[in-house]
Amino acid sequence: AVIGGFAAWRADPLRAALPITASLLFFGILLLLGSGRAKLASGLALGPLLLAGWGCVSLVSVATRAPRGMRVVLAGLGLFALLGLPSLIMNLLAIALRTPPKVPEGLWSLAAVLPVSPNRPPCVLVSLEAGAILPGLVGARVWVGHFSLTHRYREKIARLRAAGLDPAYPPADPVAAESALDAIIDEASFTCALLEENLSAPLRRLAVRGWTPLSSAGGWILLRAPVPPAP
């Protein structure tokens, strides 16, 4: 795409202006904006794709005029890039190949009884583990889910842990944790909660706030949020 951008600008700046602008916006969104807005870049992907095609044409044009040995090198580099081997190697080095984690049996069982409606999906208060799984299981909405689809993801993760909703990060101050949980509850219109049963402090606070248990299974508990009074 970079090679195509230079080639396109040299050949016809007017025609190249639109795909170059789209490409700059595309990479700017991915690099500068938060994770919740990264999906906005998908509508601009045509810009870098057009420039990449222009770059391929430029490389082929150079290769046809190059000596035989240079053409073999260029052809090899082009084939290497087209097969995606650099990306594959970087991904293999960056992540460990492992079996995807299994959905906890209790979470699976309780997710099946959530009051899901296609017109009004429930908003569920969940811990960090359930938030990454639940929307894909039943189409429910969560306060913190996948990082690319959650606005202010890092901020919400910090607030979730401060409220004691991440078993791996127990809060140091129980009073502050209750206040953090109250702030989360008051911020979103939750219909229910699906939490691990070992989150005793948040569960006690939810009980004080009027949340009622509906069902439990496999170390997980489903609670119903109190119905707000009629205006």
pLDDT for 169: 82
Among 138, 87, 115, smallest CA distance to 190 is for: 115
pLDDT for 230: 45
Query: Which residue type occupies 21?
Result: T
* Other beta carbons within 10 Å of 129: 17
Place of tokens 């707000």: 228
The pair phi, psi for residue 90, each rounded to 5°, is -65, -40
Among 194, 167, 189, 191, smallest CA distance to 112 is for: 194
Q: List all residues 6 or more positions away from 201 whose beta carbon is below 8 Å from its beta carbon.
A: 164, 171, 174, 177, 178
pLDDT for 183: 92
pLDDT for 179: 92
Class of residue 160 by CB neighbours under 10 A (exposed 0-12, middle 13-18, buried 19+): buried
Q: CA-to-CA distance for 150 and 37, rounded, in angstroms?
A: 8
Q: What is the mean pLDDT of each run of 10 residues along the chain (231 residues)?
A: 80 83 82 64 78 78 73 72 65 57 64 65 79 76 80 87 85 88 87 84 89 84 73 50
**Bridge-based pairing state of the strands 192-196 and 123-126:** parallel
Q: How far apart are the two ends of the chain, measured CA to CA in Å?
A: 57
The tokens describing 145, both together, are: 């889910």
* Other beta carbons within 10 Å of 191: 18
Q: At what angle do helices 68-82 and 46-65 cross, to 10 degrees?
A: 160
Among 141, 144, 150, 147, smallest CA distance to 131 is for: 144
Q: CA-to-CA distance for 5 and 165, rounded, in angstroms?
A: 48
Place of tokens 């890039």: 81
The tokens describing 162, both together, are: 């401060």
Q: Is 225 helix (H, G, I), strand (E, B) or coil?
A: coil
pLDDT for 38: 63
- DSSP, res 226: P
